[in-house]
Amino acid sequence: MKTKFNLLLFMLIATCSCKNDKKMTHNKEVPKAKKIEKKLEIHNDTRIDNYFWLNDREDPEVIDYLNQENAYLKKNLEHTESFQKTLFEELKARIKQDDASVPYKYNGYWYITKFETGNDYPIYTRKKESLDAEEELIVDCNELAKGHSYFSLTGLNVSPDNNLVAFGIDTVSRRKYNIQIKDLRTGEVHPEKLENTTGSSTWANDNKTLFYTRKDEETLRSDKIFKHKLGADPQNDDLVYFEEDETFYSYIYKTKSRKFLIIASSSTLTDEYRILNADTPDGDFRIFSEREQGLEHNIYHHEDQFYIVTNSDGAKNFKLMRTPENRTSKVNWVEVIPHRKHVLLQDIDTFNDYLVVSERRDGLTRIHVTPFDVSKESYYIPFDSETYTAYTTTNVEFDTEILRYNFTSMAKPATVIDFNMRDKTHVVRKVSEVPDGKFDANNYEEQRVWATASDGKKIAISMIYKKGMERNGKNPLLLYAYGSYGSTVNPAFRRNYLSLIDRGFIFAIAHIRGSQYLGREWYDDGKLFNKMNTFTDFIDCSQFLIQENYTSPKHHYAAGGSAGGLLMGAVVNMAPELYNGVLAAVPFVDVVTTMLDDSIPLTTFEYDEWGNPNDEAYYKYMLSYSPYDQVKAQNYPNMLVTTGLHDSQVQYWEPAKWVAKLRDMKTDTNVLLLRTDMKTGHGGASGRFESLKEDAQEFAFLLDLEGITQ
């Protein structure tokens, strides 16, 4: 689509978006899942689940039903297939195919990730000491992916002597990785495979001991840390640590100083660490500080001390502490940066001469630099924008005065910047290209507005639209949000959404409660018994955008995925009249049933987020918003729901059951579609290009509802 519309095309799109001429129509082959009554009883309450039988992916009838839904989706979107191809090529044209990352130096080598034209997957390489040196291949994912419909590589980890690399591979999309080890001198891959792992691993300093995390076969909880000796049979690997508490998960890593191995055990609200000198891998890990329920902290080693970002002693927005490396118990912690009511301390980076703090105030990210030399003043890196995102990136070396960070906004592509902390100069190392020849950031406007929630709280909305947008209530608007786990959706550049924006859409992000956009209280006010605030915030944002004439109900759309899909399920039950269409990706919609089943992956350490429905009070509250349980006989918007058969985060049957129940109960004639990718999981298709086909289909669904066909 051309960046600048000619007058005729602009008038055509404006006319189409006003008509709302839907092209999707029902046909006589609407899938209808059979009903088999299943009584679910607890707390003297009985729920009837007629679609519980869909929980078995090995049942041929289940697979047949999912295939029927896929066929129905294809039938209803058949008239958009040509448009989908156009959109796909458009999305693909915005990707620089022969792209490469900005090199970073670590332990004597420059590391580079690159893509080659036509290839789906990255190639990892390195150069010794100089960028002019000969390039060495680490891993070519395109070669490893051959013969697999899905491929994911994670956890690249080079040994301290630079001779070996470990990495994890998943070809099922179940997030169960097999770790392999490659000799970078010979290119030979060692025969042993470490199976059913998280994919991440950590070398001890002896270059032959590798620590890694295994998952529980059924729940997929990462609960066991193992020690593998190079060349040994993995069946004989030593179990180093087992996390018995089912609400916790574990992982292992090495400090930036390379001195300590760290075993971390974490739940939503509590962290605990065990440390071991990386020179003595056969020694015993010691507890950093005794586990304390509700104590959250991250630890960072620098010289002979640990720095601790923590919420201890009521520091809701976190503070920074310090302690000697040989006296790490909490009683020894000394305050470095106090708690601040209106500033969320998010992370730190340590260097020989500088401490860098990443924080958030009034929703905006900030980077603060403090020299360890007390005679020198600390300062903030200046950012002059109303809505943006800035964050530190790959800073793996101590002995440098260069801080690398990334800056982006909804209209500005990601920019990698090297900032000299001594003289405050900077060098732009890379601006992500949009190589279609049409993108111009000056053609767009960004804005942050504030809606008022029903309880008086102010909710920020970041948005982008084409210059010249008129607030006449006729603009199609897509409102996106997540709102769980304290995860904040930042106002960053999303090149794919240009396909909607260039056709007249406003794209907006609602920074609702359940995130940490306005600090830790913003998160606490959107979880457990406050979860309903997440949903009402989104609805209040929608009403604000309609009242302010950015859009109207017949042009208003909503989107969210995973826990954001739960958000979508809740708002269409509560306020379906506000939306013409909804995209719900891998939606967590069968909340109560899932949270009552501790055999389902990831359930147990979700209790701190949603509550444990084995407790009657939590059961009743969760039941009050659980989308699947709250489906009722009413009109619903047009909806496209997506899932993956191998999803390990939100099991496929949740959206499948939800769609089946909606089909049975909804009173409208709007379109309801379910897409199940029979080969993938939570993240959808792998590779740079295959996933774009999914985006193209979803955009075609929205644009078709607006009557926009080109």
Residues marked active site are found at 562, 647, 682
Pick from 675, 679, 672, 599: nearest CA to 647: 679
Contacts of residue 205, defined as CB under 8 A and 6 or more positions apart, other chains included, come to: 160, 258, 278, 279, 281
Cα–Cα distance, 707 to 14 (Å, whole number)? 10
Q: Which helix (H) or strand (E) holds 700?
A: helix 690-705
Residue partners of 487: CB distance under 8 A and separation at least 6: 515, 516
In sequence order, what DSSP letters do the residues of 402-463 get, joined into one string? EEEEEEE-SSS--EEEEEETTT--EEEEEE---TTS---GGGEEEEEEEEE-TTS-EEEEEE
Query: Checking phi first, is residue 102 left (phi over 0); if not, alpha (psi -120 to 50) or beta?
Result: beta
3-class secondary structure per residue, 133-193: CCEEEEEEHHHHCCCCCCCEEEEEEECCCCCEEEEEEECCCCCCEEEEEEECCCCCECCCC
The residue count of the chain comes to 710
Cα radius of gyration (the chain): 26
The burial of 467, by beta-carbon neighbours within 10 Å (0-12 exposed, 13-18 middle, 19 or more buried), is given as: exposed
- Report whether 476 contacts 505 (CB < 8 A): yes
User: What gap in Å lies between CA 526 and CA 516, rounded to an integer?
Assistant: 10
- Give the integer Cα–Cα distance in Å for 321 and 308: 5
Give all strands (DSSP E) within 525-665, no chain letters: 556-561, 581-585, 638-644
